[in-house]
Amino acid sequence: MQRKPQMERGTMLSNNGNCLFAIFTILIMLTISMQGKTSVSKQAFGHTSEGTAVDLYTLADGKLEVRIMTYGGIIVSLRTPDRSGKVDDVVLGYDSVDKYIAQTPYFGAIIGRYANRIAHGSFQLDGKTYSIPKNNGDNALHGGTRGFDKVVWTAKKVPDGVELTYVSKDGDQGFPGTLTTTVRYTLNGSALRIRYSATTGKDTVLNLTNHSYFNLAGQGKGDVLGHVVKIDASRFTPADATQIPTGELKAVEGTPFDFRTPHAIGERIDADDAQLHLGKGYDHNFVLDHPPGQLVEAAEVYEPTTGRILRVLTTEPGVQLYTGNNLDGSITGKDGRVYKARFALCLETQHFPDSPNHANFPSTELKPGETFRSETVFQFDAGTR
């Protein structure tokens, strides 16, 4: 008779324990869910010289924080932890929209209509010759004198990010067709995903990329010669003295352009190589080995002192490795830091430079009724090698 209350009390304790365990589990799940959720906020960031308002969107998921402004669709900052948990900004840029407008190294910008170079600022399409403003010697670079990096995009919040849209009218910078371009930045799990799409009213050419300058040790904190790079490319496109591809798809084997196994940038950048002399370092398009259209890892960068790792996944057929060769110390960027030669690297996922003038390159033509789609992911990690 006395044992029944004890059994009842034991049952009650067991039930209470189960309830507490269930509550504890729910709290853990909620905490994980809250940590994984990306917050998106918006604030004013200034005005263009014409008085157009520029907004700044901040995406944060607890592991990564990215700020993107509507002028040029520019990645203004990207803050990520190193192996010890110390957070730093790893992209070059400026503290104000005025600086971005006044100076044009294309820091963090969306590049279009045509990323990279078009020889002599000219191409033929459907039997007609089109002329693009020359802004790089005798060539057109990154869409001409007023490319997508120099316009204000229409923006709206979307789940985990921001969507930017710009309508480029028929004849803008000499390109045919009214082009409607949408770029969606989303952040999740230490990965910044960039999805591009576009439609046109006439046959046209198109090549879009993001031009972020990365220094995984922290922006403005020295050169990137110690960064270790791997690129999944067996060939590259050699260029002439004006950085226009010759049309050859040259094997990287036996050259300083073989990054199929990891190499520090500084290991071979000053080698006695004609291509490196012409580019003042690496400024070349690599022909990726994966089939275009498949989102796979194309490149990886490791910074030994911080342990930061950047993996680049893309559906594009090429990636331009640029090692900041033209930075010369004349630019003062964020936090008053001076940007000198080789203080950053770019991995511009793209179709090949001057493709409209090379029939053997993957086509960049876009026709009415078609939708251009492309995707690139910048994924960050930290550890030891």
Structure confidence by residue, pLDDT tens digits, 261-275: 999 999 999 999 999
Q: In the structure encoding, which two tokens stand for residue 273, read together?
A: 């190589």
Model pTM score: 0.90
Domain boundaries, the chain: 1-32, 42-382
Query: Quick check: 30 pLDDT over 60?
Result: no
Topology of the domain comprising 42-382: Beta-galactosidase; Chain A, domain 5 (2.70.98)
pLDDT at 24: 41
Indicate the pLDDT class of residue 36, thresholds 50, 70 and 90: low
Which residue type is seen at 25? T
Helix (H, G, I), strand (E, B) or coil at 278: helix
Closest-CA residue to 142 (of 164, 163, 121, 123): 121
CA distance 223 to 112: 28
Q: Measure Cα distances from 275 to 214, 244, 271 in Å.
A: 23, 12, 10
The per-residue pLDDT for range 130-177, each reduced to its tens digit, is: 999 999 999 999 999 999 999 999 999 999 999 999 999 999 999 999
Q: Which residues are catalytic?
A: 211, 348
- Per DSSP, the three-state class of 160 is coil
Per-chain mean pLDDT for the chain = 92
